[in-house]
Structure 1
Amino acid sequence: MNLKQRFSFIFSSLFSVLLATVTLTVYLLFAHFRQDEFSALMAEKAQTTAKLLIEVKEIDYKMQKIIDSNSINKLYKENTQIYDENYKLIYNSNDTLTVNLTKADLDQIRTKRRVFKKTAQYDVLGLYYTYDHKHYYVAVSAEDTYDNNKLNYLKYLLFGAFIIGTAIVWLLSFSLSKKALQPLDNFRKRIQEITDSNLKIRLSEAKREDEINALAHSFNQMMDRIDNAYNRQKEFTGNASHELRTPVARVAAQIENLIQRPDLDNIIRANLTSIFEDTFQLSEIISSLVALADINSSEHKLSFTKIRLDELIFNTVADLSKVFPDFKLKFEIENNTGNAAEPEILGDETLLKIVLLNLFKNAYIYSDNHLLECLIRQRDQEAELLITNTGEVPKIEDTATLFTAFYRGSNIGNIAGSGIGLSIVKRVLEYHKARVSYNIIDQNTNQVHISFSLLQDS
């Protein structure tokens, strides 16, 4: 559940609870008011009947029945009963609608003076009446159909108002929250466009002064600081790498010339060879840093040219053989395109050569026979490069992180390395829109699989 949905759900739920509380309170207050009003009407009826029957001597029981039956304020299914102080029924206005009161009921009327209760069908009001030192119990029962109908009508009216009000608020809250938080959605989409090669993107700022605009302004200020720091770091890396590359290359060339001297002592030759290998590795690291410094430049893609994969492989092997004379390559091309097209791709030759140098060198030093099998498999729209060697394989759980910077597999043994070669490989291949994966195809066989998009004939 996202922020808009949570905000709408909480607001709508609180409103629903509040509206339910209000409607329930209105209903209960009206029900209580109806009961008090009907009770007062019954009390008035009981007082009137008692006064006429007990205090007015000219009115007897028969005449009182006639008065009760023809009263303009007669209640529905009304029945008035009067008991004397000995609990004897002395008057009953309707013989067919008798509500029998027990001695306990009459005692309760005497104690409380006025008692109102509801039965399954009737409302009953009991009064304790005193006249001329005599005590009487007056009970009036009736059915409040008119007010019950009004109460039912109010119940359905309030329930309908609650349903309609809740539905409207839920719809409006989701609609308004979506509209109000639309700038955040726009920010999210805009932020997703920001990459390490495109740090110039900024969020749009409105003229209004609100929290969302303040957030956009703060984010843009943060991006300015990040962009400045990134440019300074990239500039330093590029300058340092360029400055280091020339002297390291000069040292490597001088060592290579010394190694080729025929009068050189074997021990010194071995030491120089070791130094030359380390220098070559240092040169590779510097070249990789230069590549990383250039790879994020937006204009760098302008340097992409047509490259034949097979020629790039041969050039890489020639450079690698200078350092590792026993390096062996088994190379094949498998063409499944149905034509004689060459395996050409579009890319940066320097960067791709760094990729192959890292992969070939790893395949060489981690192999058990210094033999590398390389297969180019051409398809209709892509070229697959499969690099295979035999030797100790890493653990299965290591294969997913081999292309992470400074991570080295479990099969490294005593082999030296920086742990950044494969991460640079992945970075450069992603830059070329190529896919790379590592597979263990046999108990003692490693394979790196790269997929390039073939250059289409225009």
Structure 2
Amino acid sequence: MQIRKKLTLQFIIIVALILALSLLAIYFFSADYRRDDFYNRLLNKGTNSAKLLIEVEEIDAGLLRRIDQDNPMSLPKEIIAIYNYKNELLYGSDNDELLHIHQELLDRIRLEQEIRYRQGNHEILGFLYADKFDRFVVIIGAVDIYGLKKLHNLQTVIFLVFAISILVVFVSGSIYAAKALKPISRVVEQVNNITITSLNLKVDEGNGKDEIALLAATFNKMLSRLEAAFKIQKNFIANASHELRTPLTAITGQLEVALIKQRTPAAYQEILLSVLDDIKRLNHLANRLLLLAQTGAENPEANFNPLHVDDVVWQARADIIKTNPNYKINVTLHETFEDNRQLTIAGNAHLIKTAVSNLMDNACKYSADHQCLVNISPAQNHITLEFSDNGIGIAPQDIPTIFEPFRRGRNAAHIHGHGIGLSLVERVVKLHGGTITLYSAINQGSTFTITLPVAQF
């Protein structure tokens, strides 16, 4: 169901309930008032008749009957009967047999002082009338023709008021809901006009104060993030294609040159070694891209296990020095570590080792002395790893984008690299719930600081 229809329906139901309860209260209060008023009239009429019969000596039953018949104030279809203390009938109207009076009824009236009941259309009141010598029972009944007619008219009015009110509420509710939801319809229309090629378009935020404006602003922020993500993806594909095409072009060129004429075995060996070097670079790039994709996989925590950070650092150091004997990597373990638990994190050993290796390799590669200083120290429920060098540093304008894929410092163009390493490091660190910060100055070196949470046992 559309929100517009749902709002209108809810509005109608709420108003209908409130209106129905109010009108029913009016009706029942009116019915109670009519009934009480009519019984008061019966009481007054019965009291007057009893007083005339009992207290006025000149009036007997026959004269009282004629008075009642000629009295314009008599009630419609009035029936009255008066009994003495012996339950003997002192006075009865012509049709008093319609009251169906019996001994038990008279005894009940004497016991309860006053009773009210209905008999057909007649509303009947029985009460005690006492003078200084005796107590008399007066039973009087009548039909409240005018009161019931007024109550019936009130029913009709209430029904019409309810029906007309619901109709008015339906129309006004529909108009109000349409007006209230018009901004949403406008937002939906604008969103439908935004495609993958027009993410730069934005939704009108209106007055900027209500919930619709907040929704539009939130959607605009999402569009900005999507636009940035598509831009990064586009640049990533372009850069990846370029990085893959460069060694492939070199391999193709060398093989084509080799096939132009017959060469000596030494010349062929030189060409094959160059091709092998390009293939290794391609393989290295492909492995980095696969690792980058692995860090974005769903539920990577499934492969997390407890591991000692210092062991991973030493393994990474050994692997790098094995392939680059001229590199110098000094690892310092802070003396404040109390036990191995402070060095244990929950993570993927292969990914952590890859991140550490990248930072060590970069520090040595971009330093004239090929030296990297690694400092491992404890923090509150965390482990801090600092990777420092005395290399060429990173320009301030390059630092904000240095962790994006295929981004490299302007001063590092002459050194071989793909620009994937730091992006991979950042993703691995964030994947493990950590943070990475950078301090760098041109020709003074760089310091990368990684903070990882300690495993909770």
Q: Name the TM-score, length of structure 2 as normaliser.
A: 0.55
Paired residues of 1:77 and 1:97 also in contact (CA < 8 A): no
Q: How far did 1:28 drift?
A: 0.4
What letter matches 2:111 in structure 1?
A: T
In 2, the alpha carbon distance for the partners of 1:194 and 1:218 equals 15
- 1:231 maps to 231
Q: Deviations over 1:369-425 (max 9, x none)?
A: xxxxxxxxxxxxxxxxxxxxxxxxxxxxxxxxxxxxxxxxxxxxxxxxxxxxxxxxx
State how many pairs are aligned. 276
- 1:214 maps to 214
Paired residues of 2:117 and 2:123 also in contact (CA < 8 A): yes
Q: How far did 1:27 drift?
A: 0.4
Q: Name the TM-score, length of structure 1 as normaliser.
A: 0.55
Q: How far did 1:33 drift?
A: 0.3
In 2, the alpha carbon distance for the partners of 1:123 and 1:261 equals 130
The 1:260/1:71 distance shift into structure 2, 3 A limit, reads farther
The 1:82/1:255 distance shift into structure 2, 3 A limit, reads farther
- 1:179 maps to 179
* Structure 2 counterparts to residues 374-385 of structure 1, below 5 A: none
In 1, the alpha carbon distance for the partners of 2:75 and 2:18 equals 38
The 1:55/1:262 distance shift into structure 2, 3 A limit, reads farther
Q: How far did 1:211 drift?
A: 2.0
In 1, the alpha carbon distance for the partners of 2:201 and 2:111 equals 86
What letter matches 1:156 in structure 2?
A: T
- 1:83 maps to 83
In 1, the alpha carbon distance for the partners of 2:45 and 2:262 equals 138
For the residue of structure 1 that corresponds to 2:98, the secondary structure is coil
Paired residues of 2:81 and 2:96 also in contact (CA < 8 A): no
The 1:132/1:253 distance shift into structure 2, 3 A limit, reads same
Q: How far did 1:253 drift?
A: 5.3
In 2, the alpha carbon distance for the partners of 1:84 and 1:47 equals 14
Provide the identity percentage: 31
In 2, the alpha carbon distance for the partners of 1:78 and 1:264 equals 141
Instruction: Provide the alpha-carbon RMSD of the alignment.
Output: 3.3
Is 1:155 paired with 2:158?
no
What letter matches 1:105 in structure 2?
A: L
- 1:98 maps to 98
- 2:11 maps to 11
Paired residues of 1:82 and 1:136 also in contact (CA < 8 A): yes
For the residue of structure 1 that corresponds to 2:99, the secondary structure is coil
Paired residues of 1:12 and 1:169 also in contact (CA < 8 A): yes
Moved more, 77-86 or 250-259: 250-259
Q: How far did 1:93 drift?
A: 1.9
What letter matches 2:52 in structure 1?
A: L
In 1, the alpha carbon distance for the partners of 2:59 and 2:3 equals 79
- 1:123 maps to 123
In 1, the alpha carbon distance for the partners of 2:240 and 2:93 equals 115
Q: How far did 1:209 drift?
A: 2.8
Paired residues of 1:80 and 1:92 also in contact (CA < 8 A): yes
Q: Deviations over 1:205-232 (max 9, x none)?
A: 3236322123223322332233233323
Q: How far did 1:111 drift?
A: 1.8
Paired residues of 2:53 and 2:59 also in contact (CA < 8 A): yes
Paired residues of 1:117 and 1:123 also in contact (CA < 8 A): yes
- 1:245 maps to 245
Paired residues of 2:129 and 2:137 also in contact (CA < 8 A): yes
Q: Deviations over 1:258-316 (max 9, x none)?
A: 79999999xxxxxx9xx99xx9xx99xx9xx9xxxxxxxxxxxxxxxxxxxxxxxxxxx
What letter matches 1:245 in structure 2?
A: R
What letter matches 1:221 in structure 2?
A: K
Paired residues of 1:113 and 1:127 also in contact (CA < 8 A): yes
Paired residues of 2:80 and 2:96 also in contact (CA < 8 A): no
The 1:260/1:51 distance shift into structure 2, 3 A limit, reads farther
In 2, the alpha carbon distance for the partners of 1:257 and 1:111 equals 132
The 1:238/1:141 distance shift into structure 2, 3 A limit, reads same
- 2:36 maps to 36
Is 1:48 paired with 2:48?
yes
In 1, the alpha carbon distance for the partners of 2:261 and 2:91 equals 144
The 1:104/1:245 distance shift into structure 2, 3 A limit, reads farther
The 1:57/1:248 distance shift into structure 2, 3 A limit, reads same
For the residue of structure 1 that corresponds to 2:116, the secondary structure is strand
In 1, the alpha carbon distance for the partners of 2:260 and 2:91 equals 141
Q: How far did 1:11 drift?
A: 1.4
- 1:410 maps to none
